[in-house]
């Protein structure tokens, strides 16, 4: 039976419109899902919206509308973005969904029954923007205004609340959980071990002064803290409230994607919550870097927030997805610039990836009446080609498991340079003129299988155009292994003069 992999994005706060950072994580998750599908896994992708909490309540109030109306509006915009970006999720979970609410209430009741929680007084600093308690060392005094380490205004809280017993799980975390879970990159794991775990306190998990959240029912004036609510969406997102926990435990791999600022919730609290319920802990926690702009971190006050809709409308979804995967280094911060995007479209997509397809179609029509010829399998050049693709296949499998998508792109580009050189060296137009048919057939055959290689390997990234080419190649079912089939295109007729990626003309400044 095929192995099952669950991939998740963070569920995004429904407090404002999506920006390029949200788009980045969700595209990564979608790409990962498709690569796992190409490897033969049964895949399931969960994304969605985090719709409760003080920040959202306050924003709705400022707009003079009910919180539910507010989050309905924002969620629609996110859904629209995912559709424009060709994201194929299996579940879109909203924390205001009735089934999710019921599930989280049952989880709270279970912790109560297991005596994992206790009542106390919650006194301390809270950042509604981060939806997170802050310790004294994380507070900055900015000319008399107290701010969190990221620069948001903080509040002093003093209310009755329930606490989750975290402190007595330290040993388990360090000696068992952290040894088992794959936390990537390593340096973030070390940061957590060196700083955060030592100062671990029990976690305050209910609120009484903010009622835009899930009520605990057992203690009617207590509402569940957004992070406890949100993390369980990864399980409630498995659809239908029945047997959710069993469904979760059946995954062979559970991969959570996010950026670095929220790994402590995923690497510390989340595994503890799961372990106390005897549920599987995630296999992989992947924290990527931030997308920043040429003027630094995006922020509303600097008016430099990048709107993904604008980019997609101007340049296209495949183009944007390719740029994100090629140019943003997954484990470091990466800069978005329109200039870089245009360069990427022109040099990679138009001049190489797209041009190979057009060139091939031109030659196929001219020399073989649009029918792919058979190769002479004894020729050295053919043997070299097959050997190279086999080596690429092995490398790509490793890259997928290591989340090295830009390495995969490099392999594809390298292969395109190779085939372009093959064309320049062998000059098919002269072979045609000199009636050197055997070599000409072999060269055209090699180009055809190269095109199959390129578009299958890039199909998780440039989804639309790959699907278009794969249809032209009449490949009904395909996987990564299909690149090792060197006979299925022989004698296939393709008559196409489509230009897949148009060049972007740059205005001179």
Residues that bind ligand MSP (CB under 6 A): 10-13, 21-22, 24-25, 50, 230-231, 258-259, 262, 290-291, 298
Count of other CB atoms within 10 angstroms of residue 52? 30
**Cα atoms in the Cβ-side hemisphere of radius 13 Å centred on 245:** 13
Q: What residues form DSSP beta bridges with 206?
A: 224
Q: How far is the CB of 494 from ligand MSP (least distance, A)?
A: 39
Q: Which of 432, 57, 338, 28 is nearest to 213 (CA)?
A: 57
Q: What residues form DSSP beta bridges with 7?
A: 45, 255
- 4-8 and 253-259: which strand pairing? parallel
Nearer to ligand MSP, 257 or 363 (CB): 257
Q: How far is the CB of 291 from ligand MSP (least distance, A)?
A: 4
Q: Residue 48: what are its φ and ψ, rounded to 5°?
A: 165, -160
Could you give the angle at the alpha carbon of 285 between the alpha carbons of 282 and 291, nearest 5°?
150
Residue nearest to ligand MSP (CB): 21
Nearer to ligand MSP, 285 or 291 (CB): 291
Q: Which of 41, 44, 53 is nearest to 12 (CA)?
A: 53
CB 319 within 8 A of CB 501: yes
Tokens at 376, concatenated: 């002479």
Count of other CB atoms within 10 angstroms of residue 424? 8
Nearer to ligand MSP, 258 or 456 (CB): 258
3-class secondary structure, 492:
coil
Q: How far is the CB of 319 from ligand MSP (least distance, A)?
A: 19
CB 27 within 8 A of CB 325: yes
Nearer to ligand MSP, 291 or 470 (CB): 291
Nearer to ligand MSP, 164 or 368 (CB): 164
Nearer to ligand MSP, 24 or 248 (CB): 24
Q: How far is the CB of 390 from ligand MSP (least distance, A)?
A: 36
Nearer to ligand MSP, 231 or 458 (CB): 231
Q: How far is the CB of 152 from ligand MSP (least distance, A)?
A: 12
Q: How far is the CB of 258 from ligand MSP (least distance, A)?
A: 4
Q: How far is the CB of 446 from ligand MSP (least distance, A)?
A: 40
């Amino acid at each position: 039976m095929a192995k099952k992999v669950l991939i998740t994005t963070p569920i995004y706060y429904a407090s404002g419109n999506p920006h390029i950072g949200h788009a980045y994580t969700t595209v990564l998750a979608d790409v990962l899902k498709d690569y796992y599908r190409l490897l033969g896994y049964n895949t399931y992708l969960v994304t969605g919206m985090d719709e409760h909490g003080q920040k959202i309540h306050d924003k709705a109030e400022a707009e003079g509308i009910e919180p539910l109306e507010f989050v309905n509006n924002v969620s629609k915009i996110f859904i629209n973005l995912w559709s424009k970006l060709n994201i194929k999720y299996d579940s879109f979970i909203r924390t205001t969904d009735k089934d999710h609410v019921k599930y989280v209430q049952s989880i709270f009741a279970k912790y109560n029954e297991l005596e994992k929680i206790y009542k106390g007084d919650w006194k301390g600093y809270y950042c509604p923007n981060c939806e997170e308690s802050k310790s004294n060392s994380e507070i900055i005094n900015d000319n008399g205004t107290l701010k969190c380490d990221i620069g948001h205004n903080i509040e002093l809280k003093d209310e009755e609340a329930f606490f989750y017993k975290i402190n007595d799980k330290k040993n388990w975390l360090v000696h068992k959980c952290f040894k088992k879970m794959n936390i990537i990159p390593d340096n973030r794991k070390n940061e957590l071990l060196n700083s955060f775990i030592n100062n671990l306190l029990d976690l305050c998990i209910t609120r009484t002064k903010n009622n835009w959240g899930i009520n605990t029912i057992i203690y009617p004036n207590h509402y569940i803290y957004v992070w406890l609510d949100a993390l369980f969406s990864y399980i409630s997102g498995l659809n239908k409230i029945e047997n959710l926990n069993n469904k979760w435990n059946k995954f062979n791999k559970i991969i959570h994607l996010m950026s670095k600022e929220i790994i402590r919730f995923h690497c510390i609290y989340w595994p503890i919550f799961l372990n106390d319920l005897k549920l599987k802990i995630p296999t992989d926690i992947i924290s990527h870097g931030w997308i920043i702009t040429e003027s630094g971190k995006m922020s509303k006050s600097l008016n430099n927030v990048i709107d993904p809709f604008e980019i997609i409308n101007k340049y296209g979804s495949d183009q944007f997805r390719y740029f994100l995967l090629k140019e943003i280094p997954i484990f470091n911060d990466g800069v978005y610039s329109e200039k870089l995007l245009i360069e990427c479209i022109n040099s990679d997509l138009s001049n190489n990836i797209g041009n190979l397809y057009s060139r091939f179609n031109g030659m196929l029509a001219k020399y073989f009446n649009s029918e792919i010829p058979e190769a002479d399998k004894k020729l050295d050049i053919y043997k070299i080609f097959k050997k190279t693709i086999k080596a690429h296949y092995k490398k790509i499998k490793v890259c997928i498991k290591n989340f090295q998508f830009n390495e995969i792109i490099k392999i594809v580009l390298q292969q395109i340079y190779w085939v372009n050189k093959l064309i320049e060296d062998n000059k098919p137009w002269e072979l045609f003129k000199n009636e050197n048919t055997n070599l000409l057939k072999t060269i055209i055959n090699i180009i055809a299988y190269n095109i199959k290689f390129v578009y299958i390997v890039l199909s998780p990234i440039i989804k639309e155009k790959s699907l278009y080419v794969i249809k032209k190649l009449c490949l009904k079912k395909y996987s990564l292994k299909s690149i090792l089939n060197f006979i299925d295109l022989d004698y296939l007729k393709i008559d196409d003069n489509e230009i897949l990626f148009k060049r972007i003309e740059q205005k001179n400044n």
